[in-house]
């Protein structure tokens, strides 16, 4: 086999193997989020399967091209069908709890794909007969790693951003199909198999015309049945209900959006104020609200176009900034009369870097001296879980005591809305006791 062809195949292996890992992490996002407890095991399982593939490839002693051609063809099928959105959605819809669906996806799709492609470099180094073993393996690893580098950048920063996740899946499938064709000694039958896999992959990945997927989220707009509302529609982000809107006059919104607007417009009586909203959702907080100026910051630059075209069906009222919430509050010099934090990667998953004390400190810095912070959280209705208690304690450690409104108290998970003020400061409280109580004095000083 010519050296140039060997390096091309190794490059394809690196490009598509790491590309498949990036796509797998993105496919898992709508179902179990992107926390470190999700990404770290996924990467770990992928590397373990890759290591086992290296060991399997080292034991191959004959029929090198035939075995590799088969591996690439099987990997193309796993990529095109296993990484399709409909496959992942089906797994998580029918296998509960979600940990079981996760293990089936990783163990049945991602790990076999990594194991098949991991055999490539050990097998191909057998065909570099005129080079030292170290030189052969070094060059093969160079081209494989270079492919991984370019695959991760190209698919995540270009293909997913401009064409969507489905296009990235098809790009990996096409690359693996090309690799199997280059390795095959019987080109015509192999071309037929590749064409069949590509056709099935295109059908599986492009069939959901009602959905839009980007590098950051899956979006869908669907009509829903709600009593007393006129043709209501829902804006779904990562399989989670983000916003509701109907054609009534005035329109109806989700309860938590209506409550946030009530706090801003009625209770705080804001007029002509600058309000920052971290996490765009469906842009309904400012919908038909002409009294204040709104700025939305969301990590996905495509969400505004999708929301305007499919959900709002009109232009977003307010300024839009495509940026990660943590980066924006840490780097911007702008100040606002109110900051609304409504950041979710899925129904109950706030990105881990957006719940820390440092994030809330940066958010406080964005407020004007008399500003207010409004936070929408999804917690257990009784606020008894360790996550609920610790998150509220973290916020209190920066802002002092914040007011807490629990909506939907009878449900296992509820919208919990906090209102904090820039004028507040965290202070140690004293406990009133029968033997020594300063309650009367404190009440008098508070008037």
CB 329 within 8 A of CB 362: yes
Q: Where does the pLDDT of residue 347 fall: very low under 50, low under 70, confident under 90, or very high at 90 and above?
A: low
Higher-pLDDT residue of 24 and 162 is 24
Average of per-residue pLDDT across 258-286: 95
Start-to-end Cα distance in the chain: 88
Answer whether residue 160 shows pLDDT above 70: yes
Q: 198 with 279, same domain?
A: no
Cα distances from 404 to residues 192, 279, 382, in angstroms, run 62, 20, 12
The answer to whether residue 428 is domain-embedded is no
Please give the structure tokens belonging to residue 97.
């709890």
Q: Tens digit of pLDDT for each residue in 42-58?
A: 999 999 999 999 999 99
DSSP string, 196-265: HHHHHHHHHHH--TTEEE-SS-EEEEEE---TT-SS-EEEEETTEEEEEE-SSSSPP--HHHHHHHIIII
pLDDT score of 210: 52
Do 247 and 376 belong to one domain?
yes
Residues 195 and 269 in one domain: no
Same domain, 348 and 371: yes
Percent with pLDDT over 90 in the chain: 63
Same domain, 133 and 196: yes
CA distances from 51 to 55, 69, 82 (A): 6, 20, 21
The C-alpha atoms of residue 50 and residue 73 are separated, in whole angstroms, by: 17
Q: What is the CATH number of the domain that holds 300?
A: 3.40.50.150
What are residue 367's phi and psi, to 5 degrees? -85, 145
Strands of 381-445, DSSP E:
403-406, 413-421
pTM above 0.85?
A: no
| 193 and 285 both lie in a single domain | no
Q: Write down the pLDDT at residue 374.
A: 97
Q: Yes or no: say if 265 and 338 are a contact pair by the CB < 8 Å rule.
A: no
- Best mean pLDDT range from 143-157, 181-195, 400-414: 143-157
Question: Of the candidates 186, 209, 232, which is a domain's last residue?
Answer: 209
Instruction: Say what percent of the chain tops pLDDT 70.
Output: 96
Question: In this structure, are 55 and 135 located in the same domain?
Answer: yes
Which residues lie below 8 Å from residue 8, measured CB to CB, with a gap of 6+? 182
The per-residue pLDDT for 262 is 95
pLDDT at residue 330 in the model: 93
What is the domain range of residue 366? 218-421
The H or E element containing residue 319 is strand 319-322
| pLDDT tens column, 237-261 | 888 888 999 999 889 999 999 999 9
Report, as an integer, the average pLDDT of 36-40. 89
> What digits encode the pLDDT tens for the residues 355-394?
999 999 999 999 999 999 999 998 988 898 999 999 999 9
> Which among 109, 74, 83 has a CA at the least distance from the CA of 183?
74
In this prediction, residue 409 carries a pLDDT of 83
Is residue 167 located within the same domain as residue 286? no
User: Mean of the per-residue pLDDT values for the chain?
Assistant: 90
DSSP string, 169-185: HHHHHHHHHHHHHHH-S
Residue 241 lies in a domain: yes
Among 75-79, 303-307, 346-350, 408-412, the minimum mean pLDDT is found in 346-350
CB–CB of 15/147 below 8 Å?
yes
Is position 184 within any domain? yes
- pLDDT of 447: 63
Query: Is residue 266 pLDDT above 90, yes or no?
Result: yes
Q: State how far the Cα of 184 lies from the Cα of 36, in Å rounded to an integer.
A: 40
Distance CA 264, CA 270 (A): 6
- Considering the domain architecture, whether residues 180 and 105 belong to the same structural domain is answered as yes
Q: Are residues 223 and 203 in the same domain?
A: no
Say yes or no: 227 and 312 in one domain: yes
Position 281 pLDDT exceeds 90: no
Torsion angle of the four alpha carbons 311, 313, 315, 321, in this order, in degrees rounded to the nearest 10 = 20
Q: Which of 377, 331, 338, 372 is nearest to 354 (CA)?
A: 377
| Rounded Cα distance, 427 and 404, in Å | 18
Q: For the domain that residue 98 is a member of, what is the CATH number? A: 1.20.1250
Alpha-carbon torsion angle 54, 60, 62, 65, nearest 10: -30
In this structure, what DSSP letter does residue 430 have? -
- Which pLDDT does position 130 carry in this prediction? 61
Last residue of a domain, one of 165, 180, 209: 209
- pLDDT (tens digit, 9 = 90+) per residue, 403-445? 999 998 878 888 999 999 999 888 777 777 777 777 777 667 6
According to the model, what pLDDT value does residue 208 have? 59
Q: If DSSP codes are grouped into helix, strand and coil, which group holds residue 405?
A: strand
The mean pLDDT of 165-171, rounded to a whole number, is 93
Give the residue carrying structure tokens 């690893």.
141
Report the alpha-carbon distance of residue 380 to residue 385 in Å, rounded.
Answer: 7
Same domain, 266 and 407: yes
Number of domains the chain is built from: 2
Q: Is residue 432 part of a domain?
A: no
How large is the C-alpha radius of gyration of the chain? 27
Mean pLDDT, range 264-286, rounded to an integer: 95
Place of tokens 């490059």: 11
pLDDT band at 211 (very low <50, low <70, confident <90, very high): low
Residue 344 lies in a domain: yes
In a domain, 193, yes or no: yes
Given 209, 237, 263, which residue is the final one in a domain? 209
- The encoded tokens of residue 273 equal 């104020």
Evaluate whether residue 445 is within a structural domain. Answer: no
Please check whether residue 441 lies inside any domain of the structure: no
CA distance 412 to 5: 58
């Amino acid at each position: 086999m010519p050296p140039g062809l060997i390096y091309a195949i190794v490059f394809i292996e690196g490009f598509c193997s790491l590309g498949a890992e990036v796509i797998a992490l993105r496919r898992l996002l709508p179902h179990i989020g992107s926390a470190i407890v999700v990404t770290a095991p996924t990467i770990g399982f992928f590397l373990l399967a890759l290591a086992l593939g290296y060991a399997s490839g080292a034991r191959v002693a004959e029929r090198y091209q035939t075995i590799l051609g088969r591996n690439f063809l099987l990997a193309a099928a796993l990529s095109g069908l296993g990484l399709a959105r409909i496959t992942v959605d089906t797994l998580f819809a029918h296998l509960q709890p979600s940990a079981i669906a996760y293990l089936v996806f990783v163990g049945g799709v991602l790990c076999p794909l990594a194991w098949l492609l991991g055999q490539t470099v050990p097998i191909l180094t057998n065909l570099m007969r005129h080079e030292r073993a170290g030189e052969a393996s070094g060059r093969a690893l160079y081209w494989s790693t270079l492919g991984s580098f370019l695959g991760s950048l190209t698919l995540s920063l270009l293909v997913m951003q401009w064409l969507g996740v489905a296009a990235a899946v098809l790009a990996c499938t096409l690359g693996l199909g090309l690799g199997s064709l280059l390795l095959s000694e019987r080109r015509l039958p192999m071309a037929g198999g590749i064409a069949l896999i590509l056709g099935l992959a295109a059908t599986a990945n492009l069939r959901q015309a009602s959905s839009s997927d980007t590098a950051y989220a899956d979006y869908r707009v669907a009509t829903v049945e709600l009593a007393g509302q006129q043709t209501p529609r829902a804006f779904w982000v990562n399989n989670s209900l983000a916003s509701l809107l109907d054609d009534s006059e005035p329109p109806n919104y989700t309860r938590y959006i209506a409550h946030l607007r009530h706090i801003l417009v009625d209770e705080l009586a804001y007029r002509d104020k600058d309000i920052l909203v971290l996490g765009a959702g469906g842009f309904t907080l400012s919908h038909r609200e002409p009294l204040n100026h709104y700025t939305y910051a969301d990590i996905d630059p495509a969400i505004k176009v999708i929301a305007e075209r499919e959900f709002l069906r009109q232009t977003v009222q307010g300024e839009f900034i495509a940026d990660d919430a943590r980066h924006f509050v840490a780097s911007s010099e702008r100040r606002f009369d109110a900051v609304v934090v409504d950041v979710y990667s899925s129904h109950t998953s706030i990105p881990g870097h957006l719940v820390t004390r440092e994030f809330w400190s940066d958010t406080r810095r964005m407020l004007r001296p008399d500003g207010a912070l409004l936070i929408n959280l999804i917690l257990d209705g009784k606020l008894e879980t360790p996550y609920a208690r610790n998150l509220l304690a973290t916020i209190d450690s920066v802002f002092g005591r914040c007011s807490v409104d629990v909506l939907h108290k009878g449900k296992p998970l509820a919208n919990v809305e906090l209102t904090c003020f820039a004028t507040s400061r965290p202070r140690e409280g004293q406990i009133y006791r029968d033997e020594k109580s300063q309650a009367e004095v404190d009440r008098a000083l508070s008037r």
